[in-house]
């Protein structure tokens, strides 16, 4: 579709900013709160989590282990309305891990599918892939 709802564009940016803030504060409830209750999440390892609660627990786990002390920067690169009331969002992500086996900066490209639930925009699907360095 060639046009996009100003509401969707704004909501996509709000949701991605909220995820970034939640990650950087280690706030799993806030992070998962942007997802629909039955959302699907595929992480950079190819693990598939189903549901808001599993998404919260998974992030609590990584923030206390492999990604402890980490921070992210997210930039929205594209928002499309692929069906009425359904947004497809692509993000340029940079993860900074201060120490441990994953220490360093890693790029990734998550895509999000946004839907409307009870009058609010929520993430129905989040799928993430590391960018490979040549």
List residues binding a second copy (CB under 8 A): 1, 38, 40, 42-46, 48, 77-78, 80, 82-83, 85-86, 88, 90, 107-109, 111, 113, 115-116, 124-125, 127-132
Pairing of strands 111-117, 86-97: antiparallel
| Terminal CA-CA length for the chain | 34
Residue 26 or residue 51: which is nearer to a second copy going by CB? Answer: 51
The minimum distance between CB 25 and a second copy, in angstroms, equals: 26
Q: How far is the CB of 51 from a second copy (least distance, A)?
A: 12
Write down the least CB distance from residue 123 to a second copy, Å: 10
Instruction: Name which of 1 and 119 has its Cβ closer to a second copy.
Output: 1
């Amino acid at each position: 579709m060639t046009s996009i709802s100003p509401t969707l564009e704004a909501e996509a940016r709000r949701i991605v900013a909220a995820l970034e803030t939640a990650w950087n504060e280690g706030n799993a409830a806030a992070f998962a709160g942007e997802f629909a209750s039955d959302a699907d999440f595929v992480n950079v390892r190819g693990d598939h989590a189903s549901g808001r609660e599993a998404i919260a627990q998974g992030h609590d786990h990584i923030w206390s282990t492999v990604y402890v002390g980490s921070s992210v920067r997210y930039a929205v690169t594209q928002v499309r309305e692929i069906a009425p009331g359904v947004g497809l969002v692509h993000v340029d992500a940079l993860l900074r891990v201060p120490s441990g086996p994953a220490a360093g900066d890693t790029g990734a490209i998550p895509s999000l599918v946004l839907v409307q639930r009870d009058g609010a925009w929520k993430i129905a699907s989040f799928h993430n892939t590391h960018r490979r360095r040549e």
